[in-house]
Amino acid sequence: MDMINLKIDGLDVSVSKGTTILEAAKELKIDIPTLCYIKKLNEVGSCRVCVVEIEGKRGLQPACVTNVSEGMVVSTANKTVRETRKNILELILANHNRECLSCPRNLKCELQKLCNEAGVDNVYYEKKALRSPVSASLSIVRDPGKCVLCGRCISVCANVQNVGVIDFAYRGPQTAVTTPYEQNLSENSCINCGQCIEICPVGALQEKDDTDKVWSAIDNPGLHVVVQVAPAVRVALGEEFGMPVGSNVEGKMVSALKRLGFDKVFDTDFSADLTIMEEGTELLDRINNGGKLPLITSCSPGWIKFCEHNYQDFLDNLSSCKSPQQMFGAVAKSYYAKRADIDPAKIFVVSVMPCTAKKFEAVRDEMQVNGYREVDAVITTRELAKMIKLSGMDFTKLPDGTFDGILGESTGAAVIFGATGGVMEAALRTVADILTGKDLQDIDYKEVRGLEGTREATVEINGMEIKLAIVNGTGNAAKLLDKIRAGEANYHFIEVMACRGGCINGGGQPIILDKSKTEEVRQRRAEGLYGIDRSKEIRKSHQNPEIKELYADFFEKPGSHKVHEHLHTHYVKR
Amino acid sequence: MEKVVGVLQKYGCAKENLIQIMLELQKLSGNNCLPKDWVAKVAETLELPLSKVYGVITFYSMFHTEPTGKYFIEVCKSGPCHIAGAENVLHMLEKELGIKPGETTPDGCFTLTKSSCFGACDIAPAIKIGEKVFGNLTKDKLKEIISSCREGL
Amino acid sequence: MEDIKILSARFGKIKPDSVEEYINAGGYEGLKKAVTMQQEEIIEEMKKSNLYGRGGAAYPTGIKWEQAYAVKKDPKYLVCNADEGEPGTFKDKRILAEDPLLLIEGMTIGAYIMGAKEGYIYIRGEYSAIQRIVKSAIENAKKAGYLGTNILGKGFDFDLHVVSGAGAYVCGENTALVESLEGKQGRPRQKPPYVKNCGLFQMPTILNNVETYSCIPCIVNVGGERYSSFGTEFSGGTKLLCLSGNVVNRGVYEIPYGLTIREIIYNLGGGVKDGKKLKFVHLGGSSGSCLPESLLDTRICYDDLKKNGLSLGSGAVLVVDDSNCVVDYLKAVMEFFEEESCGKCTPCREGNQRLLELLEKLSQGRGTLADIEKMKSIAQTMKMTSFCGLGQSAPTALVTLLKYFENEFIEHTAGKCANGKCSMNSKGVN
Ligand SMILES: Cc1cc2nc3c(=O)[nH]c(=O)nc-3n(C[C@H](O)[C@H](O)[C@H](O)COP(=O)(O)O)c2cc1C
Ligand code: SF4
Ligand code: SF4
Ligand code: SF4
Ligand code: SF4
Ligand code: FES
């Protein structure tokens, strides 16, 4: 490989051709500040925060998009660079709604960190450019007054998610990132995935905050408030309290929820096991009885909305199973209500989700059981952290609590739902046992694990070849479906997660301040989940005793009429 | 909508012709603007996200998303016209028409705007009404232009 | 003064879109000669001609074409920048409206050299009537066999299209223009890659100004050396200047390089209007530099101008008399850049707003000496870090006026505007 030799801040470094100054500096442990830059995703060179001086070049050059060349001499922090950077940050701040104290991004904000480090303490100017007001959809809140116009959200939405509902518009001082005609995000094909929130460097994008709803339900003595927590939450919540990335905080989380005043603390993992019972049955049924194939998973509401907008010819391929969140709600307000002898009208179901799209899913028309809304409020991992902080708990010191029965028991199969490939693996574990009629011990389907955007595998179970695909990120899903449409690929079963990496990286998860660590964080959170799986005694959904009890007591068997009434749904063209 | 389809076909439904298509549609609209449903149709046909198309029509100053007056008056305010008295021209027009820049007369006859240089600096101060440029403007000349517009209604 | 008319010879004398009249008036001699020459030979002549790009950046065209010629990738596109948005510039308009076949001939020679089959003339949207003339000229040239297939029976094909802008000054910038030609927002692209390697539709693209292309037929015709001799040692040929502002005879003048600014204003332009005194000249459009009386004897020639910290830009010469106020004038300039900034990069999008804000403060009598220092600092940041030429040159007028008229700015901080142009009304921020 061609190596290039250069000097950065007086230090020699040798890097391969095509390396940027920014990356070359990293080799020397020099961190050049950046704002708009996200490697491979948003290399636009527009914010100019990363400018450096190159000997012999006029002006300063952006380190993030300038490639090294032989003999280059770079200064990353001399007087000119420091003063210029400060000027640029001050220019950004001048049109920024500076409300750090009440901002949801406070202390996790890249702009705040940059300004703090550069010593920008005083904004010289008076005027504010006119920006559109704050607008909120069911899942996402946009505050153009805090937008730094980095364009990251546009890139994620268009290039990773293939949605493209936002783009730059206008020019000059009016320049904005907006939807067409400034529509609310809920009026168009936004899939509520919240990936734009995760990538935003500042507080210009955030989840729609529903904690107030939850507080008032807790405060209402007439309500029986139960909470369910999705798998991916427990390996990420700790980050909000300074714990190492990937820590499993299930026990502390349960204690915290109990202290917050929930009447029952249940687990979405329970209903994930239930989902597998239903989805596994559906898969076998479709394969054996000539049903529509491939079967495509339906637990990711962002993906569902994406499909409803853009791939309507695949709606019949979607599993009719409701997602674990909704199955939980349906069971809570029927089976649980009956067992606990509580009027379902008095049960208030709260979900804690890694996902912003779940807020939308919960209010879909179809998501009702016996006339009751299955889920009454959805909060994200971040919102739960906020509630815990507000209550003054020292989270890291909490004792480990355990989930309440009869909707609290779960298996290793359920917990891995939170990572891409997890639903697939969980389903395979159950399907394999059904097909072979045995209690198989070799249940680690390593071929479906991993964080790559698209993965394929073929597994043979009892002489039956099952062709599988796993995609994460709706952009990858689109590519795969295009291939299927074109007849270039086919499968029996496809798992789709709307977010890259799956729910561990959902739009409601803790913000990763240093975006260059995103891959690593995903990896660690996923490892957290697989760690829990390994530590579980029961690792197959159909062996969950509470699930067995549920069928015996209430649903009879998977795919029964009652099951269809409660746990299955349909999709609409949008 | 037939008009839209016609223009789209004329330009081979090619993405790169978006700006040309929009210019032509705006001319056909009768009120110098791009109706929302036309824009949506163009986006759909060219297989472009609506957000991209909206970005384009808000980026270029010649596109309008709202109808303008029949006479779209642009007063150049750039350097050469400025020192030739563009400010006065604008004030005279504001007075004559009773509107401020960015506004349209209630009868829908005139819209007044400020514009960047359109290359009439040799006859500054200059204004543009639709495609037509008027220069070396004085108070009397402006009055004459406006009244001939009014007659031409 | 030798009266050489290369570009303006036919202005007003022929029906602009008539191939016949064009030929009768000496047109198409360049192309006819070019097709008998080797491509490299023509490029050699262009290098000898000392032709510098006439669009503003003044890059030597011969070298640019030599590099473009060397790029081995097909198809190549030929693009003409007829966006002419620089305030005070109206010369390309004259060529387009009065002798478009000259441009077309120049581009056809370019196509012959580069082997390009398609060309685009990007004309600003405000010149809609002129677009029709150019389109008609193209049609006529095709009919006459000077464009289209098998040009002049020499077996090479070239087709030209007129594409309209839609009101955005920044689209005059190379890469923004290419984006706009592709039907997108006119936001500049990161360079490298340069358009010569990766331009329109990601293909090699030769992009020049209207006037630049229009010089080429003559260069081919009379030879590079002869063409160069019309100008100075360092700047070959003639240049169209646009004289405007407080001067008696405004208009487009074709001059050989080497005349002084004073000669242009007083001999050609008839001096300052209404017996007033000259205050400064804004040279090269709003993005150019301003010069005081003391620099009037600078010759129009890239080298001499550069020595005095000036540049010719597009060829705009705006004369400003002493009844004007520098702060008031700059407000108009900065309003232009504020509005025309594409909004992509921080220094330009935000910097222009802030320079305008501080100028407004000064004009309201609320400005301070610290504001003046702050302006200098932002101007420097914009110049050094802006993404494209727009933001880099937006503060040039301010910087040069501050250099020559700092006292007038300081007076404003004391609430005085000697010319009575500023309101000095300190009420209200806006
Ligand atoms: C903001 C900006 C606006 C420009 N506008 C024009 C223009 O209107 N016409 C033009 O020919 N060049 C314009 N240029 C210069 C072009 O980028 C480019 O250098 C030129 O068209 C190259 O042609 P030339 O070498 O023949 O001059 C502009 C540059 C910038 C940065
Ligand atoms: S986005 Fe960042 S800088 Fe802006 S108010 Fe929020 S925390 Fe503060
Ligand atoms: S939530 Fe997802 S689809 Fe909606 S704007 Fe954000 S990234 Fe795009
Ligand atoms: S909303 Fe956030 S990510 Fe999107 S452009 Fe603004 S600051 Fe960047
Ligand atoms: S310098 Fe101005 S015009 Fe150029 S890219 Fe930056 S914002 Fe756009
Ligand atoms: S991080 Fe390099 S320009 Fe924004």
The DSSP secondary structure of B46-61, one letter per residue, reads TT--HHHHHHHHHHST
Task: Looking at the structure, tell me whether residues B52 and B80 fall in a common domain.
Answer: no
User: Which pLDDT score is estimated for C428?
Assistant: 41
DSSP state of A541: G
Which pLDDT band, with edges at 50, 70 and 90, does C96 fall under? very high
DSSP state of A119: T
Instruction: State yes or no: pLDDT of A452 exceeds 80.
Output: yes
Residue A124 near chain B (CB below 8 Å) = no
Nearest to A502 by CA among A480, A521, A488: A521
User: Which pLDDT tens digit goes with each residue over A303-326?
Assistant: 999 999 999 999 999 999 999 999
If you average pLDDT over residues C320-338, what whole number do you get? 98
Which of A:186-205 have CB within 8 Å of B? Answer: 188
If you average pLDDT over residues A167-181, what whole number do you get? 97
User: Which pLDDT tens digit goes with each residue over B32-47?
Assistant: 999 999 999 999 999 9
Gap between the terminal Cα atoms of chain A:
51
- Domain residue ranges in chain C: 19-229, 238-321, 326-426
Give the number of domains in chain B: 2
If you average pLDDT over residues C253-274, what whole number do you get? 97
Contact by Cβ (8 Å): A297, A324: no
Mean pLDDT of chain B: 96
Indicate whether B100 belongs to any domain.
yes
If residue A485 lies in a helix (H) or strand (E), which one and from where to where? helix A474-485
Which pLDDT band, with edges at 50, 70 and 90, does B152 fall under? confident
Query: Mutate which of A130, A153, A159, A167 to test chain B, going by most B C-beta atoms within 10 A?
Result: A167
Contact by Cβ (8 Å): A518, A368: no
User: Which pLDDT score is estimated for C426?
Assistant: 61
A469 CA to centre of own chain: 20
DSSP state of A515: G
User: Which pLDDT score is estimated for C1?
Assistant: 45
Task: Looking at the structure, tell me whether residues B99 and B133 fall in a common domain.
Answer: yes
Q: Which of A103, A153, A200 to mutate to test the pocket of ligand 2 (most atoms within 8 A of CB)?
A: A103
Contact by Cβ (8 Å): C231, C301: yes
In sequence order, which residues have a C-beta less than 8 Å from that of residue C245 and are 6 or more positions away?
B80, B83, B84, B121, B124, C88, C282, C317, C318, C319, C320, C321
Q: Which of C85, C245, C246 sits opposite B117 (nearest CB)?
A: C85
Percent of chain C beyond pLDDT 90? 96
Nearest to B19 by CA among A377, C305, A201, C124: C124
User: Which pLDDT tens digit goes with each residue over C267-317?
Assistant: 999 999 999 999 999 999 999 999 999 999 999 999 999 999 999 999 999
Nearest to C193 by CA among C73, C373, C26: C73
Indicate whether B66 belongs to any domain.
no
Instruction: State yes or no: pLDDT of A546 exceeds 90.
Output: yes
Separation of alpha carbons C95 and B21, rounded Å: 26
Interaxial angle between packed helices C346-363 and C369-385, expressed in degrees from 0 to 180 and rounded to the nearest 10: 160
Contact by Cβ (8 Å): A510, A538: no
Task: Looking at the structure, tell me whether residues B77 and B35 fall in a common domain.
Answer: no
Q: Is the peptide bond before B125 cis (omega within 30 degrees of 0)?
A: yes
Where helices occur in A156-205 by DSSP H, the ranges are 195-199
Q: Do A91 and C429 touch (CB under 8 A)?
A: no
Task: Looking at the structure, tell me whether residues B12 and B55 fall in a common domain.
Answer: yes
Q: What is the residue type of A361?
A: E
Question: What's the 3-state SS for C93-107?
Answer: HHHHHHCHHHHHHHH
Instruction: State yes or no: pLDDT of C2 exceeds 70.
Output: no
Domain over C19-229 is classified CATH 3.40.980.10? no
User: Which pLDDT score is estimated for B153?
Assistant: 65
Task: Output the CA–CA distances (angstroms, integers) from residue A504 to A235, A351, A455, C253, in the order listed.
Answer: 8, 16, 18, 69
Separation of alpha carbons A427 and A296, rounded Å: 12
Which of A:191-230 have CB within 8 Å of C? Answer: none
Which pLDDT band, with edges at 50, 70 and 90, does C30 fall under? very high
Task: Looking at the structure, tell me whether residues B95 and B26 fall in a common domain.
Answer: no
**Ligand 5 contact, C383 CB (< 6 A):** no
Instruction: State yes or no: pLDDT of B25 exceeds 90.
Output: yes
Separation of alpha carbons A170 and A174, rounded Å: 6
B neighbours by CB contacts (3+ pairs under 8 Å) = A, C
Q: Which of A46, A125, A173 sits opposite C387 (nearest CB)?
A: A46
- Taken in order A153, A154, A156, A162, the sign of the CA dihedral is positive
Helix, strand or coil, per DSSP, at residue A448? helix
Indicate whether B136 belongs to any domain.
yes
**Ligand 3 contact, A84 CB (< 6 A):** no
Query: Which CATH number applies to C326-426: 3.90.1530.10, 3.40.640.10, 1.20.1440.230, 3.40.50.1980?
Result: 1.20.1440.230
Residue A17 CB neighbour total at 10 angstroms: 12
Which residue's CA is the nearest one to ligand 5's atom 4? C388
Mean pLDDT of chain A: 97
The alpha carbon torsion through A283, A288, A289, A291 (nearest 10 deg) reads 40
If you average pLDDT over residues A210-234, what whole number do you get? 98
DSSP state of A208: P
Which of A:92-111 have CB within 8 Å of C? Answer: 92, 94-95
What chain A holds in terms of domains, given with CATH numbers, is 3-77 (3.10.20.740), 93-207 (3.30.70.20), 211-567 (3.40.50.1780)
Q: Do C166 and B124 touch (CB under 8 A)?
A: no
- Taken in order C68, C71, C72, C73, the sign of the CA dihedral is negative
Query: Which CATH number applies to C238-321: 3.30.70.2190, 3.90.1150.10, 3.10.20.600, 3.40.190.10?
Result: 3.10.20.600
CA distance to partner chain B, nearest, from residue A573 (Å): 17
For residue B46, give its domain range: 2-59
Q: What is the DSSP string of A373-390?
A: ES-SEEEEHHHHHHHHHH
Indicate whether B19 belongs to any domain.
yes
User: Which pLDDT score is estimated for C430?
Assistant: 37
Q: Do A164 and B51 touch (CB under 8 A)?
A: yes
Q: Which residues of C touch A45 (CB under 8 A)?
A: 190, 345, 387
Instruction: State yes or no: pLDDT of C429 exceeds 90.
Output: no
If you average pLDDT over residues A265-294, what whole number do you get? 96
Q: Do C185 and A48 touch (CB under 8 A)?
A: no
In sequence order, which residues have a C-beta less than 8 Å from that of residue A39 and are 6 or more positions away?
A516
Task: Looking at the structure, tell me whether residues B53 and B107 fall in a common domain.
Answer: no
Q: For chain B, count helices (H), then strands (E).
A: 7, 4
Among residues B35, B59, B83, the one where a domain terminates is B59
Instruction: State yes or no: pLDDT of C36 exceeds 50.
Output: yes
Instruction: State yes or no: pLDDT of A206 exceeds 90.
Output: yes
Percent of chain C beyond pLDDT 70? 98
Measured in residues, chain B has a length of: 153
Residue C272 near chain A (CB below 8 Å) = no
- pTM recorded for the entire structure: 0.96
Tokens 């450019």 found at: A129
Where helices occur in A20-78 by DSSP H, the ranges are 21-27
Nearest to A485 by CA among A360, A328, A310: A310
Instruction: State yes or no: pLDDT of C355 exceeds 70.
Output: yes
ipTM for the complex shown? 0.97
